[in-house]
Structure 1
């Protein structure tokens, strides 16, 4: 018996630890010269390596079939499938291209390059978004065509995809869905961009892949990768922002050895009230601390990883223009938000299939501190300031310096007292979710995935005020999707069923269910012209605020009354994407039409409660339509020069011809960009950008119109070698001409409060 047990254990251990060496070389296609430092990446295994000075690479892989992706700056990314074990020596040839390197799309299930993907997915590197001078992740994603943000100052931003936001846009981070009371107008992402590698945007219904709340699209945040096999690295960075006299800094380290992988990153950001050239916007200051850590293990036929993210934010809530200061401690009222995100992802590889299990637990604690007596004490002082800060900017600067010291002393005295205040609002949201997918063995032209997803969520109130009641929500969904390869066309098809139950304590129980499907086609209709046509349905179950609100929502100055009779929002969207690409030019045109049945919206009934106007949740059919146009030109022979232009438009209307609220204004962005290298400085990049936002006159009955404006930005950066390590330096200036404007999606717009003026950002990152 003992001998049999020993033999069984030996077989299992041999299977677990057996690795198969794969060797190859990367060459330039035309000249057949070696390409050193090319990146070799296997998305299923989430591991890789780089080629040596001779363009050679060697990597050990478990038995199976995997996609291998090879990329290098200035060359077209290549992907191909390899079967392991193999004795073949891989020779991979890359052709020159002035276009950016392609990355594997993670938010769609088949993990393909975008050029191979049936769905149109936008992907951007976080470092590229930050290079534009964005203070936050929410601001950075607005550089993606078709994506905007509902903002409350600089610290709070909610993603808007083609006119839809809040619970109609699902956010994924660390491979799990983020739940943080996103129904609230003044509730931001609660995610710091440190430790996030890239962002992907699915525009349109993604209920097939993600269930309820993906009716309008998905924002998918990819965490930074672990270190390549048997390597380690570290980096530290600091950014300074002139407008808010603020900074953000982070430091990280990661290592991989003997199958184990580890990473950790911490960051801190502080900003004072932002400046508009006329005045500083009182209490838009904030402080954010963030910690991300990950631990992974990989052996033959199995890999697993565990990640944790803690984000603590103290966010000032602006109400009116008052005291002028550059202090960084938030005044009352302010939010204190803690986000704990635990996630694990494990994959078991079989001979020609795999099983992936992702688990997540999110603990969100949102507190709001108010002091109405404190607020009224400053009223007279605020009125006095109103006379001063509208005069001359020099006087405003003197006023800043004068009041900063006084307010700093006052805040130091009252800080401990504020911390002891009972939170007016104290909500705890605990969410457990799971996602299990099985990649079936390929059958002929078919790649197929089946899976189940689910969620258990508990909302609890502990504060003096209650916006939404205590409740428990349970989701369950089952799905199947296939990617079918034909000679001239690729087809993706899928179907899904979802069930949601909501138990509102001491009130009522509700259940919702929905069938949804998607069908997509990708084909080359002419030489260099690719067409994608996607048809999909999506749904969204009503959230707790819509079902059971009954009180004043301080952040919006409304008395909101829920409606327990609300039904699912159900939509159908058609997307058509055309793309032309050759060696020197790329052009794309995306058009969509989105029909939403039983769209849920707020409507005033003309009454007042506690001096707040009463708004009721109602339903009516709605439609949204629009699209994006883009051009990328890199003229021959100056491939280092890039001219990029994009236009985006969306219109949203109810069936009664009223316009939907919070629909972004049309905008046109033109960017002139240069990228090149010198003997002493690598990766030199510089840009000049003009973003033109048009007037928004198509507004809801309780919105006001918005004027047009132009924002001009410039920036430059490069990489130096210091002590044999890279030092990245970047400088950018946004709103260079200090234009006074109000964004249509700013929640401060109703008070006539301007958006941020000129800001100069200086960033330094040292890699080790």
Structure 2
């Protein structure tokens, strides 16, 4: 018996040794995008043995994976990622192996998703949200601000209903830099009513980074960053293209955009793209909003060459637009201004027309980019040169021949050079380092008959950044970086002596006067600003379905030319703006924590983000009264500095009830406080909640139907900036309250979209869709619309869209 036991344990030990010897293999490799060659993070790799045993791994931040303690035998690999088409592969493992895999992007996904893959990620420890190409095509007739508003935490600042710019966590304009094909957009973006001069149809994806973590781009993004990125040129021998067109009932408008691209096996490729938009006066539920027409024509082209370790391309885009400003927003006197704000209807309601009259704005923007890169043993070196020319004309209601001349005519020329180096991973460290130079000249053209709101100036800016990534292990990534910016502005500006003295400049800046012309002073302010930015963050993977991201970012923003130099009527905004030469840098300290994951076998995907932003010397624009000029009566807004805090939460989630039925929601809550004056910040977005339910059935010619509900709550946290004005009533001067503070009521909107696809040929497809916006023709006013005092928002609108892919 004893001998039998010894033999049994000896055999058991030998079996264990043999098993141990055979299970010491490992499988490793990298997962990349099949077209871009860029690595993809957070790819799920399931490896299933012939006995049914399963192991699950995720790729790290550089797309790599390793699976240890494998035995010899046959395995099934299932490789999946929410943004890519899954792949199933059979392998036989007999030795230590290295296998790389490529995935094809799933263009059918139309929801905003959390961007994880390296080909799209710009930081390692900041949540990035994006619009896919499919979703951009769904919104091709809109503008950048409207398109981005589908993302939680992003809202819109509007001037009327055709001019919109994005707000990220309560901040906008120069606090939210926009990068068009890696070039920072410079298009007089300081203005409240200056929409980004970008055609969204050039983009293959649009990414929102909620914070200043992407130091390789800028250090002054106190709100966040928007990246508009065209598709990489194909190096395959292929010809493809598409055309989209639509008709919109409200405004009787039409839109068309088309694109064609060609690639060759020898590495050359090109792309041509163009857009045209035209609409007339928009309508509220009960009246026409006179002079709200819009016209836009855009064009872009790109030529590139890629071979082995190096490549280069040239990109050019042109954006041209003409936009009417609501006629009722320009009033003749203080009494009319009071009546316009207190009245429920615009003071001017004309018949519908396609004509665009003064007041209006005409914009031209040109961008030329040269890009070259070289990959070598240490990493990748990239050189970018960008040239931009922007002409902005604003037309006011004027008499005689002056009515055809612009009241504001500005030429803005910008040159930028960026040199960046990204190293290969060495001992779990990866470095990104670079520098940039910007030269900019703003030239106010003569012949307007009006002193320019923004004067002549030259700006020089030098920047340097350094970012380090440390991959502690497959589950933890640390990121840290610093950036330094030095900026100098050399300006020439005429100030009326009365304004100069009223602003107190006669005591503070008398040494800047270089000439006395009688009624005016010619002043030469030379201003220097140094900015320091930093970021520190961590990303922790909790198993295969949950991530935690923590990030702290310090940013510093120099005041823009409008905040420094304004001292007159801003025609398109219908306000008088007063700047301050003594403004200092804004300094933002922002903390964000994000929880990302999925539950119930990937049927529920969620993102929960908390943020807190404390801003020292926050530059705030507040109304201080009204002023009568020869061109009418307008509210006066002045730039002042205070300390502020902005905090809130963003929630995004989608749940798939059935393979064909999905529900998605996003919710945004935000509070802004003026800590110095113990009040609320002005113009902070109210609570917004968007819910949608969508049905898809690919078997029914890709049929889909989607119902969306948008609920906007009343803003209950706002400062009281009302003031009194003296007006004549019945021959007697009386004092009246001008209420420009009280927010409008809450509202809820319903939209519906449906459509299907037709296969014209095995490779050509025709998509047809129909939509209704504001189904119930709801009458409402938007707190984030600077012209809400004068008119309601747009009423019901029907849309028909056709897209042809070839």
Give the TM-score of the pair, scaled to structure 2: 0.76
Quick check: 1:591 aligned with 2:610? Answer: yes
Q: Give the alignment partner of residue 438 of structure 2, picking from 448, 452, 455.
A: 455
Quick check: 1:654 aligned with 2:639? Answer: no
Which whole-Å CA distance do the structure 1 matches of 2:111 and 2:634 have between them?
A: 53
Distance 1:335 1:168, change over 3 A: same
Quick check: 1:633 aligned with 2:618? Answer: no
Q: Give the alignment partner of residue 716 of structure 1, picking from 754, 778, 782.
A: 754
Residue aligning to 2:577: 560
Residue aligning to 1:438: 421
Distance 1:202 1:711, change over 3 A: same
After superposition, the C-alpha distances for 1:634-667 in whole angstroms (9 at most, x for unaligned) are: 13xx222111111101111111222222211101
Structure 1 unaligned segments of length 5 or more: list them.
1-37, 47-64, 79-86, 375-416
Structure 2 unaligned segments of length 5 or more: list them.
1-31, 41-60, 65-78, 89-96, 329-345, 493-522, 722-740
Contact 1:98–1:584 (CA under 8 A) maintained in structure 2: no
Residue aligning to 1:359: 385
After superposition, the C-alpha distances for 1:499-527 in whole angstroms (9 at most, x for unaligned) are: 11111124210111122210111112466
Report deviation, 1:765: 1.2
Contact 1:162–1:203 (CA under 8 A) maintained in structure 2: yes
Which whole-Å CA distance do the structure 2 matches of 1:552 and 1:99 have between them?
A: 46
Which whole-Å CA distance do the structure 2 matches of 1:662 and 1:467 have between them?
A: 23
Residue aligning to 1:464: 449
Contact 2:247–2:799 (CA under 8 A) maintained in structure 1: yes
Q: Give the alignment partner of residue 562 of structure 2, picking from 521, 545, 552.
A: 545
Contact 2:459–2:487 (CA under 8 A) maintained in structure 1: yes
Report deviation, 1:723: 3.5
Contact 2:744–2:781 (CA under 8 A) maintained in structure 1: yes
Pairing 1:183-582 to 2, within 5 Å after superposition: 183-206=190-213, 208-257=215-264, 258-320=266-328, 321=346, 322-373=348-399, 421-462=404-445, 463-465=448-450, 466-487=452-473, 488-505=475-492, 506-525=523-542, 528-582=545-599
Residue aligning to 2:795: 757
Contact 2:110–2:135 (CA under 8 A) maintained in structure 1: no
Which whole-Å CA distance do the structure 2 matches of 1:244 and 1:134 have between them?
A: 13
Contact 1:74–1:100 (CA under 8 A) maintained in structure 2: no
Distance 1:673 1:276, change over 3 A: same
Which whole-Å CA distance do the structure 2 matches of 1:689 and 1:228 have between them?
A: 40
Which whole-Å CA distance do the structure 1 matches of 2:803 and 2:108 have between them?
A: 26
Deviates more, 1:705-714 or 1:567-576: 705-714
Q: Give the alignment partner of residue 42 of structure 1, picking from 33, 36, 40.
A: 36
Report deviation, 1:618: 1.6
Q: Give the alignment partner of residue 662 of structure 2, picking from 622, 642, 648.
A: 642
Contact 1:743–1:749 (CA under 8 A) maintained in structure 2: yes
Report deviation, 1:156: 1.1
Which whole-Å CA distance do the structure 2 matches of 1:425 and 1:266 have between them?
A: 28
Which whole-Å CA distance do the structure 2 matches of 1:119 and 1:713 have between them?
A: 32
Contact 1:194–1:267 (CA under 8 A) maintained in structure 2: yes
Pairing 1:667-678 to 2, within 5 Å after superposition: 667-678=688-699
After superposition, the C-alpha distances for 1:88-122 in whole angstroms (9 at most, x for unaligned) are: 8755689999987999969x9x64569x9421000
Report deviation, 1:278: 0.4
Report deviation, 1:766: 1.1
Distance 1:510 1:206, change over 3 A: farther
Which whole-Å CA distance do the structure 2 matches of 1:521 and 1:563 have between them?
A: 39
Contact 1:479–1:497 (CA under 8 A) maintained in structure 2: yes
Report deviation, 1:556: 3.6
Larger radius of gyration: 2
Contact 2:318–2:364 (CA under 8 A) maintained in structure 1: yes
Contact 1:593–1:625 (CA under 8 A) maintained in structure 2: yes
Report deviation, 1:224: 3.2
Distance 1:99 1:531, change over 3 A: farther
Which whole-Å CA distance do the structure 2 matches of 1:649 and 1:553 have between them?
A: 31
Contact 2:603–2:656 (CA under 8 A) maintained in structure 1: yes
Which whole-Å CA distance do the structure 2 matches of 1:102 and 1:354 have between them?
A: 30
Give the TM-score of the pair, scaled to structure 1: 0.80
Contact 1:533–1:575 (CA under 8 A) maintained in structure 2: yes
After superposition, the C-alpha distances for 1:670-713 in whole angstroms (9 at most, x for unaligned) are: 111123311x624x332111111111121233322121111111
Contact 1:76–1:101 (CA under 8 A) maintained in structure 2: no
After superposition, the C-alpha distances for 1:569-598 in whole angstroms (9 at most, x for unaligned) are: 001000000123132111221100000000
Contact 2:215–2:482 (CA under 8 A) maintained in structure 1: yes
Report deviation, 1:255: 0.2
Distance 1:236 1:129, change over 3 A: closer
